[in-house]
Amino acid sequence: MTEKANSKNRQAYPLNQILYGPPGTGKTFNTVNKAIEIIENRVVRDDEDRKELKEKFEEYKAAGQIEFVTFHQSYGYEEFMEGIKAETKDDNISYEVKSGIFKKLCETASAEKHILQDLEDLDFNNFFKIGEILETKRGKKFKILEIDEDITFEHENGTTKSTAYRKTILEHLKDVKKMTDEKYYSSQVYMARKIYKQLNLEDNTNKNYILIIDEINRGNISKIFGELITLIEDGKRVGGDEELKITLPYSNESFGVPNNLYIIGTMNTADRSIAPIDTALRRRFIFEEMVPKPELLSDDISGIDLQKLLEAINTRIEYLYDRDHTIGHSYLMDVGTLDDLRFAFKNKIIPLLAEYFYEDFENINLVLNDNGFIKSKKDNDKYLSNITNRLSGKTIYQISDSEWKAQDFIKIYENSADEEVSNS
């Protein structure tokens, strides 16, 4: 039996893992690195060219080794595993069982070429023509003379006739090593290799496959995974110590999850739109926390230290709310000018804070250290006199529309309390 190429990988990489953390910490960004590491069985260095990594990622996607899906609240078992879909053709409606993204990937990852029994009726006329001249990798030429149950051919000098026996060719077809190792160059192996390539009988069990599930916690896990939640466990995978297969509800097929299929999920900890993550999911996945990394940011944009800026904001958010709602470094990664920083705050960071604190601008003002970005709204006081005369202590806030200066951003991380002490 052929040794699986991914046997070492399973020692280094978990079959099921979730990257979790607040928004902007690079969870989806890092799924690219994780996928390439698993497929190529290596560590992706921090200094590797991002463009090249992304191109490799897209190549593996195009080759079918990586699939990407985003969960949402209406996503179901039918899209993920299998379901009955209605199709209309010539005004007639038919219902067919259609495989979902997970089932298709499992089937691809499980495909082996040890299928000699399926090739007994192979018609050689579909692959060769009488008179056709073939040439091996080492330049050895031969011509097809007759195609029947076996194949008769003659060598380049035209004096020696030989027979490629059907049984031998079929035996070669199931030999993984001879089909992938160019040192085997005999005429019969060459014929088998030509058939092999045309039939696309690649042994996928020697490769690793990746399913990336973005926003995994936004889906209804029980609804989407169903009985699969047990099958994805390490020991329950095909080939595991406690291998488990089930009969699928729609197709009635026997199904198991291959051990060369890896699941990488991402989870936004700030997403409170759903119930807490399913306990069954927690038990079957390894969780890796992705945290904000201020050290990746510039320390001098028009005199503004973005590292201190993000650290100060997140320290206050964690105190006022929790660490799950801190802000990731990616919100400021592309900031190169003061105008970029203004844009990031007006269009990304302040709207995010407003969502976190449910439009409680008093808390937002505390997070920004009362730097002037948030101001009280007084223009419409004349319409509120009948209310404010009876109710006191409420202030309405709005985002200031003035041109924010560098010093306004610096004030976010300046410790004014220390300054007052030092000035006294």
Q: Are 152 and 145 in contact (CB under 8 A)?
A: yes
Over residues 134-152, the mean pLDDT reads: 85
Total number of residues shown for the chain:
424
Structure tokens at 70: 């985003």
Quick one: how far is CA 280 from the chain centroid?
Answer: 21
Q: In what order do the strands lie in the sheet with 133-135?
A: 133-135, 141-147, 151-155, 161-164
Q: Is 107 helix (H, G, I), strand (E, B) or coil?
A: helix
Has residue 219 got a pLDDT over 70? yes
Has residue 411 got a pLDDT over 50? yes
What confidence tier does 76 reach under pLDDT thresholds 50, 70, 90? very high
pLDDT of residue 264: 98
Across 6-44, b (16+ Cβ under 10 Å) vs e yields: beebbeebbbbbbbbbbbbbbbbbbbbbbbbbbbeeeeb
Q: pLDDT tens, 220-264?
A: 888 999 889 999 999 999 988 999 999 999 999 999 999 999 999
pLDDT of residue 200: 62
Has residue 346 got a pLDDT over 70? yes
pLDDT of residue 381: 66
Residue with the bigger pLDDT between 294 and 218: it is 294
Q: Which residues contact 248 (CB under 8 A, 6 or more apart)?
A: 81, 82, 254, 255
Phi, psi of 264 (to 5 degrees): -120, 120
Residue with the bigger pLDDT between 281 and 131: it is 131
Q: pLDDT tens, 290-341?
A: 999 999 999 999 999 999 999 999 999 999 999 999 999 999 999 999 999 9
pLDDT of residue 112: 63
Mean pLDDT of the chain: 85
pLDDT of residue 273: 46
pLDDT of residue 38: 97
pLDDT of residue 423: 45
Q: Is 412 helix (H, G, I), strand (E, B) or coil?
A: helix
Over residues 383-411, the mean pLDDT reads: 80
Q: pLDDT tens, 11-32?
A: 479 999 999 999 999 999 999 9
